[in-house]
């Protein structure tokens, strides 16, 4: 018996009557809705997403944009090319190939990331370039993910832009995103910041009246600021410098402590300049 797909329903060919979904009907075909957008009658290739949607597309168009999507050019026993990407990613990929201009700017980060990875896997280079640009725009909210992507794609500028924002990321996330080879240089990069901050957070004393090195107001201010600065990396120095003002009221009784706090803040604001570039740390280990 043959099976045809008609609007997502399984139909026994030649009988005229659709069977109810009995157990003898292969589950795989019940699960195979056809894309509303890519179902051309003259299509010569069927592609199935990881979540079971079938796209009917044209080999000529696919091969024009992609080096690797159809690989050896031989479909599986169902006559389909089974891919690892989900239906959303494939829909966007085909929209690009069919010049439907997918709106990458409106995509949630994980969707963009999947599309970017698919573009790289299948060597859809112009789309990959568009994804590179969009991925960079997520550097603030997904710094570690963007860093991992920038390393993989050798995007030097993006890499240096986002690396300073990753320093506060927990190491489990860093290891998961970067993989062992990049994780080790990243830890060394992060160590530079930890050492710089150790120096910065030991601001020189300002002599008080009577030759005293400090007064009772300093300790509470110091503890509050260092606590808030924790997890603040060289990429968040603008946000971090506001922390110094947050507790300033507690020092208003002492001009000397205020001078000390000002110097501390300036030293912190200059701290990112002491950081090595991420690329230099990376190449020091990988070359
Ligand atoms: Zn004081």
Ligand 1 centroid–CA 201 distance in Å is 17
Please state whether the predicted TM-score (pTM) of the whole model is above 0.85. no
26-30, 45-49, 145-149, 187-191: lowest mean pLDDT where?
Answer: 26-30
pLDDT of residue 174: 97
pLDDT of residue 192: 97
pLDDT above 90 for 27:
no
Ligand 1 centroid–CA 67 distance in Å is 68
Question: Averaged over 14-20, what is the pLDDT?
Answer: 42
Residue 63 CB partners (closer than 8 Å, separation 6+): 70
Confidence of residue 231 (pLDDT cuts 50, 70, 90): confident
How many other C-beta atoms can be found within 10 angstroms of the C-beta atom of residue 31? Answer: 14
Ligand 1 centroid–CA 194 distance in Å is 27
What percent of the chain has pLDDT above 70? 87
Tokens representing 136 are 């960079």
Residue 81: which H helix or E strand, with range? strand 81-82
- 280 and 250 in contact (C-beta within 8 Å)? no
Residue 107 CB partners (closer than 8 Å, separation 6+): 92, 115, 134
Question: Averaged over 231-251, what is the pLDDT?
Answer: 93
pLDDT above 80 for 236:
yes
For the stretch 103-116, pLDDT in tens is 999 999 999 999 99
Residue 158 CB partners (closer than 8 Å, separation 6+): 132, 135, 136, 139, 146, 150
For the stretch 128-173, pLDDT in tens is 999 999 999 999 999 999 999 999 999 999 999 999 999 999 999 9
pLDDT of residue 8: 38
pLDDT above 70 for 117:
yes
Ligand 1 centroid–CA 206 distance in Å is 8
pLDDT of residue 25: 42
Residue that has been written with the tokens 């601001």 in this structure: 203
pLDDT above 80 for 4:
no
Question: Averaged over 204-232, what is the pLDDT?
Answer: 94
- 66 and 123 in contact (C-beta within 8 Å)? yes
> How many Å separate Cα 247 from the centre of its chain?
34
Confidence of residue 74 (pLDDT cuts 50, 70, 90): confident
Tokens representing 147 are 């860093």
> How many angstroms separate the CA atoms of 178 and 144, rounded?
8
pLDDT of residue 123: 93
Provide Rg for the chain, Cα atoms.
28
What average pLDDT is seen over the chain? 88
Residue 128 three-state SS: helix
Ligand 1 centroid–CA 212 distance in Å is 9
pLDDT above 50 for 37:
yes
Query: What is the maximal distance between C-alpha atoms in the chain?
Result: 104
| Angle between helical axes of 143-152 and 109-121 (0-180°, round to 10) | 10
List alpha helices for the chain, DSSP H: 27-30, 59-65, 87-97, 109-121, 125-136, 143-152, 156-162, 171-200, 216-229, 237-241, 243-246, 255-270, 278-286
pLDDT above 70 for 9:
no
Ligand 1 centroid–CA 86 distance in Å is 61
pLDDT above 90 for 10:
no
Tell me phi and psi for residue 189, to 5 degrees: -60, -50
pLDDT above 60 for 72:
yes
Ligand 1 centroid–CA 249 distance in Å is 13
- 178 and 166 in contact (C-beta within 8 Å)? no
Ligand 1 centroid–CA 217 distance in Å is 6
> How many angstroms separate the CA atoms of 243 and 34, rounded?
55
> How many angstroms separate the CA atoms of 95 and 101, rounded?
6
> How many angstroms separate the CA atoms of 112 and 149, rounded?
12
Ligand 1 centroid–CA 244 distance in Å is 15
Question: Averaged over 232-249, what is the pLDDT?
Answer: 94
Ligand 1 centroid–CA 136 distance in Å is 44
207: left (phi over 0), alpha (psi -120 to 50) or beta: beta
Confidence of residue 191 (pLDDT cuts 50, 70, 90): very high
Ligand 1 centroid–CA 247 distance in Å is 14
pLDDT of residue 284: 85
Confidence of residue 1 (pLDDT cuts 50, 70, 90): very low
Ligand 1 centroid–CA 165 distance in Å is 34
């Amino acid at each position: 018996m043959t099976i045809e797909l008609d609007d997502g329903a399984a139909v026994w060919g030649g009988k005229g009557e659709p069977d109810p979904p009995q157990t003898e009907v292969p589950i795989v075909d019940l699960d195979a809705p056809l894309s509303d957008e890519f179902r051309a009658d003259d299509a010569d290739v069927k592609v199935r997403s990881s979540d079971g949607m079938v796209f009917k597309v044209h080999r000529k168009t696919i091969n024009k944009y992609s080096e690797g999507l159809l690989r050896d050019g031989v479909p599986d026993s169902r006559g389909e090319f089974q891919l690892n990407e989900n239906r959303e990613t494939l829909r966007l990929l085909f929209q690009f190939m069919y010049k439907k201009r997918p709106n990458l700017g409106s995509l949630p980060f994980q969707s963009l990331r999947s599309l970017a990875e698919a573009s790289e896997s299948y060597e859809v280079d112009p789309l990959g370039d568009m994804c590179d640009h969009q991925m960079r725009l997520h550097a603030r909210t997904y710094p570690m993910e963007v860093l991992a992507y920038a390393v993989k794609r050798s995007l030097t500028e993006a890499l240096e832009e986002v690396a300073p924002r990753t320093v506060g990321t927990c190491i489990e996330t860093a290891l998961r995103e970067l993989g062992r080879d990049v994780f080790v240089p990243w830890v060394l990069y992060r160590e530079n910041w930890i050492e710089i901050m150790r120096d910065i957070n030991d601001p020189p004393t300002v002599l008080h009246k009577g030759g005293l090195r400090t007064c009772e107001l300093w300790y509470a201010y110091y503890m509050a600021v260092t606590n808030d600065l924790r997890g603040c990396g060289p990429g968040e120095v603008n946000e971090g410098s506001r922390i110094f003002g947050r507790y300033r009221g507690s020092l208003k009784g002492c001009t000397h402590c205020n001078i000390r706090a000002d110097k501390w803040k300036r030293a912190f604001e200059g701290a990112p300049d002491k950081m090595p570039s991420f690329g230099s740390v990376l190449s020091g280990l990988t070359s």
